[in-house]
């Protein structure tokens, strides 16, 4: 009898601990997702109910040229940021890991400091530094191109410029992840490899890189998800221009929902983007995991 009471008590405690999480998850994730799915099949405005239109929003979306332009720009931005920011973060982490004491702490603070800045401050800093008339980086651009360039108003320059801003802003977190991964590698492995005559190159490719691969896969996956959701920097620096050369999917959602009051159509775009992020990130993580086993 006492055993049954203990099981009931343990079960009650377990339900009590799990219930707040389930309630919060249902409120802030499950319900909004279900509501977005429902709205995507209606012609609802941003606020209020609408009429059921079936697949009309999706038919409109997949025949919308702006959707394909935005999708292409999202893909281009991913190519500009995901692998470069991972490589740069790894190189910085390897360099910082060689330091010790206060020098290492100072280096970590310097590289992580941009990450704690709000996006409005970050974009304001770079908009000032790259200003066509007064930007302190314009002489550098002029040295390579022969003339000043309004980078956020030039179709060729705008996406690479936003990519540079994004890498500078977010890379501190990736550096910390790589530093944590490097510190988890036992020093005994390096000592054993050196006793066997391993060079610095061999130490990296035979010891550091294989053991750091799980962290690398995590960074690549997080960066892919983050960069597919690009919005803030684009909106504040270029507003999708010039000529839609930096127009992305979330900017399209913002325009349809908050400017044109097409809540149902915006929900359809949001759902397509959500499914795209889920599919691409899961596929990438699985590919990276298989690659790490070889």
pLDDT digits (tens, 9 = 90+) for 147-179: 888 899 999 999 999 999 999 999 999 999 999
Instruction: Provide the pLDDT for residue 2.
Output: 57
Residue 43 token pair: 């012609």
Residue 114 DSSP symbol: G
Q: Can you give the pTM of this predicted structure?
A: 0.88
Kindly tell me if the per-residue pLDDT of 292 is higher than 70: no
pLDDT in tens, 109-151: 888 899 999 999 999 999 999 998 888 998 988 888 888 888 9
Instruction: Provide the pLDDT for residue 291.
Output: 63
Give the residue-averaged pLDDT of 262-273.
Answer: 92
Instruction: Provide the pLDDT for residue 160.
Output: 94
Parse the chain into domains and list their residue ranges.
64-292
Instruction: Provide the pLDDT for residue 5.
Output: 63
Q: In CATH, what is the architecture of 64-292?
A: Orthogonal Bundle (1.10)
Give the residue-averaged pLDDT of 192-212.
Answer: 85
d(CA 233, CA 238): 8
Instruction: Provide the pLDDT for residue 253.
Output: 93
Residues 6+ apart with CB under 8 A from 107: 95, 96, 99
């Amino acid at each position: 009898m006492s055993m049954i009471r203990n099981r009931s008590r343990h079960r009650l405690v377990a339900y009590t601990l799990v219930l707040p999480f389930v309630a919060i998850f249902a409120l802030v994730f499950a319900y909004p997702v279900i509501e977005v799915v429902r709205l995507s099949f209606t012609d609802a405005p941003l606020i209020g109910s609408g009429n059921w239109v079936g697949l009309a929003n999706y038919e409109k979306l997949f025949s919308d040229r702006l959707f394909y332009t935005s999708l292409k720009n999202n893909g281009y931005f991913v190519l500009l940021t995901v692998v470069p920011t991972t490589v740069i973060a790894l190189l910085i982490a390897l360099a910082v890991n060689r330091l010790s004491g206060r020098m290492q702490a100072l280096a970590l603070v310097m590289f992580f400091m941009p990450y704690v800045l709000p996006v409005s401050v970050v974009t304001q800093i770079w908009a000032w530094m790259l200003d066509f008339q007064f930007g302190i980086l314009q002489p550098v651009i002029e040295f390579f191109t022969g003339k000043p360039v309004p980078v956020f108003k030039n179709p060729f320059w705008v996406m690479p410029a936003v990519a540079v801003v994004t890498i500078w802003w977010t890379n501190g977190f990736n550096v910390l992840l790589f530093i944590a991964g490097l510190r988890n590698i036992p020093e005994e492995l390096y000592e054993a490899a050196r006793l066997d005559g391993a060079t610095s190159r061999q130490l990296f490719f035979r010891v550091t890189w294989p053991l750091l691969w799980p962290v690398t896969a995590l960074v690549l996956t997080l960066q892919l998800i983050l960069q597919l959701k690009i919005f803030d920097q684009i909106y504040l620096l270029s507003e999708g221009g010039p000529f839609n050369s930096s127009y992305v999917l979330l900017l399209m959602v913002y325009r349809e929902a908050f400017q044109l009051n097409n809540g149902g159509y915006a929900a359809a775009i949001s759902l397509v983007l959500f499914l795209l992020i889920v599919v691409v990130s899961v596929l990438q993580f699985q590919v990276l995991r298989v690659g790490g086993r070889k």
